[in-house]
Structure formats: structure tokens, C-alpha cells
Structure 1
């Protein structure tokens, strides 16, 4: 099962395409530099407010960003659950 990329990676690609650094991008998005940095580094996801800010700078619709965030989170949960199920199966075999 493929895991979609963290949205921070996609935002960084958009930044590179327009030549903005983190400080410039944060200013355009109307957010704190640290907030954007955490998103770019995969520490947080795209919030509804960030999705609206991304839409405002022309990087897709807020709805699309929110759907991608939900897909990412679901893939992460499936991966974690699969790992948990695998561990349960190993424990059952070991008994």
C-alpha cells in the first residue's frame, strides 16, 4: 500500500516553483515562520486555516488540501493498524 507524501513536501515543491523561502512563504500565507517550518518538516498537518491560506496564494483549493490531509492521515492510521495486527499475529503464533 502506497503512503501519500506528507503535505509539507508538496508545499515545499510549490515554494521552490515560485522561488520563495520559508520566511517569504510564511508572510504570503499570513502565518508564523515556525508554524510553516513545522508543517514543512512533517511535524504537523495542514489545518483548515492553512488550507484557506494555501488557496489564497493560488496553490489549489482548500477542499483539495483538506482531502489530501485526510488521505495522508488515513494512510498513516492504516499503516499503524497493520503493524499492530501483524504484531498480534506474531504473538498468537508464538504461543
Structure 2
């Protein structure tokens, strides 16, 4: 399984594409600079607040940023515990149940 892409990698790429430094983005979003650098460095996830601010700045939807975070977390969980989880029992299916 490949290493899950952290949302910070997407953020770093998008900032690079528009020539804006993380510290400048933080200033414009009124957040501490370490919040943006920690996201970019994969040390912090995207919160609802960060998703709203990033979506406003980039002109996209906060759901985009939250989806990136959720996908990342699911990939990490699958890599770390997926095999063990697949061995757990499932709910019994009742006859005639859809």
C-alpha cells in the first residue's frame, strides 16, 4: 500500500502554484504561522476551522479540504489496522433482510 497523501502536500502544491509563502497565507487567514507549516509538514490535520479559512481563500468548498483529511485518515487507519479489522466478525445477516 502506498503512503497516504497528507492534505498538507496538496496545500503546499497549491501555495507554490500561486507563489504564496505559508507565513503569508497564515497572516491573511489570521491564524498562527505554525498552523499552516504544521499542516504542510504533515504534523497537523485539517480542522473544520482551517477548512473554512482555506476554502474562503482559495475560492473552493470547505468539504474539499475536509474530504482530503478524511481520505488521509482512512488510508492511515487501513494501513495500520485494516488487516486486523478484516478478521473481526460481521453482523449476522437475517433471512429475507435486505
Fold similarity call, TM over 0.5: yes
For residue 2 of structure 1, report the CA deviation from its aligned partner.
4.5
Could you tell me which residue of structure 1 aligns to residue 54 of structure 2? 54
Q: Which has the larger radius of gyration?
A: 2
Mean CA deviation greater in 76-85 or 60-69: 76-85
**TM-score when scaled to structure 2?**
0.76
More helix, by proportion: 1
| Residue 25 (structure 1) shift | 1.1
Q: Take 1:11 and 1:59, find their aligned partners in 2: how far apart are those partners?
A: 13
The structural deviation recorded for 1:9 is 0.6
Superposition RMSD in Å: 1.8
The yes-or-no answer on 1:44 pairing with 2:44 is yes
Instruction: Name the CA distance, whole Å, in 1 between partners of 2:17 and 2:45.
Output: 21
Distance 1:84 1:59, change over 3 A: farther
Specify the alignment match of 1:13 in structure 2. Answer: 13
Aligned residues: 85
Unpaired stretches in structure 1, ≥5 consecutive residues: 86-95
Work out the CA distance in 2 between the residues paired with 1:18 and 1:25: 11
TM-score scaled by structure 1?
0.79
- Tell me the SS of whatever aligns to 1:74: helix
- Runs of 4+ in structure 1 over 2 Å off: 1-4, 82-85
Q: Could you tell me which runs of 5 or more consecutive residues in structure 2 were left unpaired when the two chains were aligned.
A: 86-98
Contact 1:8/1:39, CA 8 A, preserved across alignment: yes
